[in-house]
Structure 1
Amino acid sequence: MNSHDLLPHEPFKRLFFALPCSAVQGKAISRWRSALKLRNGRPVPTANFHLTLMFLGDVGVSQLPAILDAAARLRPLPAPSAIILDQLEVWRRSQALVLVPEQPQAALLRWVYELQQAMLPLGFAVDPREFQPHLTLMRDYRGPVPEAPLDTEFRIAAREFVLYESYKGKYEPLAQWPLVEPAPAPLERPRPMLHPFQVP
């Protein structure tokens, strides 16, 4: 959906789905990025680190309830699906330096397909390019792929997915849902039965 699809004079929000990055993980990635001594592009603020799932664009506020309802109907993954970010890439088209996994989890890729299909009836076109989980480090980046240590590896293990609003350079979470089914509660061990004449 594009901004020209909005109703006349309708307020809108710039929305996207993503996996959150914990504060601890964000600080670690930020320190690692600083060690690369990059001299090109604009660094993404640490507070804005996330793994993009689907970009919706400018959305009229009247559509927000339908988006929330469709997202809530998605079935969570049966087991945690950690993403290992271990490669740097430069995306020339968007002029971005990104961290990506060498081997994306198949379960997550299937789940993102379900997310895309859930948004399709609401008028949000699916990007024809194959989805690739990524964390953007720099924008307006026009340099080569930097050399990074061979042991570069950041493990992102989100248990929820979030609908964010992009507003004045900040990403505000609007709603979140479980990405992974909750673990079953541990079974209580049966208490031994006492003989009627035994004192507990």
Structure 2
Amino acid sequence: MAQDTRSTASPFKRLFFALPVSDAQRRDVSQWRRSLALRSGRPVPAANFHITLAFLGNVDAAQVPSVCAAVDQLLLPDKAPRLVLDRLQVWHRAGALVLEAQHTPAPLLQLVYGLQQALLPLGIAVADRTFRPHLTLSRDFHGQPPEASTPPEFFVSARECVLYESRKGAYQPLARWALGDGGAFISPLGSHR
């Protein structure tokens, strides 16, 4: 395990790239989750629903502009990848109840790989795990997946990739990039240029 060599005085941000979930999708997933009548775990607030692409962990705040510039150089998908969250699973090791995608579109895999490669020159190594697109429904979950009266089938059209900062249990978007229509940079939500 790598040690954190930054000075303790150096400000940092806990960052990750993700696909946001629309308000309508949040409502639908939240309503479906309620129908499960969960008796274990801590439900993730619907406002925090997302699909993680790459978790960066603690990054020096001064590196955020370089992270954004690296993503600006990526060849992003020219069509918005469409993902179907259609399997309810428990990730026992993580203690999480998740909605997973049985199939991952190739453009989404390419995006994840591109993000990983773009960050390497900055000294930011993304955890070396197989990408499993998912949406976390509940943390500290133990036991088997609950029975669902309606099977899950939630369609996520990945129209943008967002760099988020995790701060005090809330996720703040720092920058966004369009997926589809040329993959243009949408907005910095804070200056990085």
1:37-76 counterparts in 2 under 5 A? Answer: 37-76=37-76
Q: Go from structure 1 to structure 2 and tell me whether the alpha carbon gap of 1:49 and 1:2 turns closer, same or farther (over 3 Å shift).
A: farther
Superposed displacement of residue 4, structure 1: 1.2
TM-score normalised according to structure 1 size: 0.86
Measured in 1, the distance between the counterparts of 2:47 and 2:63 equals 27
**Identity in percent:** 51
- 2:128 corresponding residue in structure 1: 128
Gaps of 5+ in 2: 184-193
Q: Mean alpha-carbon deviation: is it higher for 2-11 or for 36-45?
A: 2-11
1:3: Cα distance to partner? 7.3
- Structure 1 residue runs of 5 or longer lacking an equivalent are 184-200
- Kindly tell me: are residues 11 and 80 of structure 1, through their superposed partners in 2, closer, same or farther at Cα, counting changes over 3 Å? same
Question: The residue matched to 1:5 in structure 2 has which SS?
Answer: coil
The equivalent residue for 2:118 is 118
Q: Is the 8 A contact 1:3 1:57 kept in 2?
A: no
In 2, the alpha carbon distance for the partners of 1:112 and 1:166 equals 19
CA distance in structure 2 between the partners assigned to 1:89 and 1:125 by the alignment: 27
Could you tell which deviates more after superposition, 27-36 or 104-113?
A: 104-113
- CA positional deviation for 1:120: 1.4
Partner of 2:94: 94
Aligned partner letter, 1:84: V
User: What is the 5 A alignment of 1:138-177?
Assistant: 138-149=138-149, 151-177=151-177
2-structure distance, mates of 1:10, 1:134: 33
Give the conservation status (yes or no) of the 8 Å contact 1:16–1:53.
yes
Q: Tell me: CA distance 1:124–1:116, structure 2 relative to 1, closer, same or farther (3 Å).
A: same
Cα distance, 1:19–1:40 mapped onto 2, change above 3 Å: same
SS at match of 2:162: strand
Match of 2:10 in 1: 10
Query: C-alpha separation between the residues in 2 aligned to 1:128 and 1:73?
Result: 22
Contact 2:35 2:148 in 1 (8 A): no
* C-alpha distance in 1 between matches for 2:124 and 2:163: 14
Report the 3-state secondary structure (helix = DSSP H, G, I; strand = E; otherwise coil) of the residue aligned with 2:69: helix
Count of residue pairs brought into register by the alignment: 183
CA distance in 2, matches of 1:16, 1:76: 17
Indicate whether 1:106 and 2:106 are aligned. yes
- Report if the CA contact (8 A) 1:164-1:173 is conserved: yes
Q: Distance in 1 between matches of 2:120 and 2:44?
A: 29
Match of 2:35 in 1: 35
Structure 1 runs, 4 residues or longer, greater than 4 Å off: none
Deviation at 1:119, TM superposition (A): 0.9
- State the distance in 1 between where 2:181 and 2:3 align: 35
DSSP 3-state at the match of 2:146: coil
CA shift for structure 1 position 182: 4.7
* Kept after mapping to 2: 8 A contact 1:15/1:165: yes
Contact 1:85 1:102 in 2 (8 A): yes
- Report deviation, 1:151: 3.6
Structure 1, 34-43 or 128-137: larger mean CA deviation: 128-137
State the TM-score, normalized to the length of structure 2: 0.89
Deviation at 1:150, TM superposition (A): 5.4
Alpha-carbon distance in 2 for matches of 1:177, 1:107: 15
Q: Over aligned residue pairs, what C-alpha RMSD do you find?
A: 1.8
